[in-house]
């Protein structure tokens, strides 16, 4: 009977060792769980970016308004007959206010 008890205790100790320190142990599981949650967050960010890119490409394919908007903002183009005004902030006034 003592032999069976000793063998069972030995198996219990070995199983506990593998559970806490062996391959696929509890710390490994927790680390993988954290990595999965980080990857899911990254995937969700990329899905949102893809949605925006798909919407942008659909808008560029379907209408001229998006093309015109891009030409105005990114290339600085204006229509014929329009006047372009650039407003330059007065940096000196901002610096004087900061000194007060």
Q: Where are the domains of the chain?
A: 24-85
Distance CA 25, CA 95 (A): 60
- Which helix (H) or strand (E) segment is 27 a member of? helix 26-62
Nearest-10 Cα torsion for 52, 58, 60, 63:
-130
* Average model confidence (pLDDT) across the chain: 86
Can you tell me the mean pLDDT for 35-55? 97
Share of the chain above pLDDT 70, in %: 91
Query: Residue 4: its pLDDT value, please?
Result: 92
- Cβ atoms of residues 40 and 46 within 8 Å: no
Distance CA 91, CA 88 (A): 9
pLDDT of residue 52: 94
Distance CA(51)–CA(45), nearest Å, equals 10
Higher pLDDT, 57 or 51: 51
């Amino acid at each position: 009977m003592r032999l069976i008890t000793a063998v069972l205790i030995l198996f219990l100790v070995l199983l506990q060792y593998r559970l806490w320190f062996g391959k696929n142990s509890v710390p490994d599981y927790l680390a993988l769980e954290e990595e999965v949650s980080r990857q899911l967050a990254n995937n969700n960010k990329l899905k949102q970016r893809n949605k925006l890119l798909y919407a942008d490409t659909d808008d560029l394919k379907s209408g001229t308004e998006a093309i015109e908007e891009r030409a105005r903002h990114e290339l600085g183009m204006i229509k014929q007959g329009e006047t372009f005004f650039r407003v330059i902030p007065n940096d000196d006034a901002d610096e004087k206010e900061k000194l007060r």
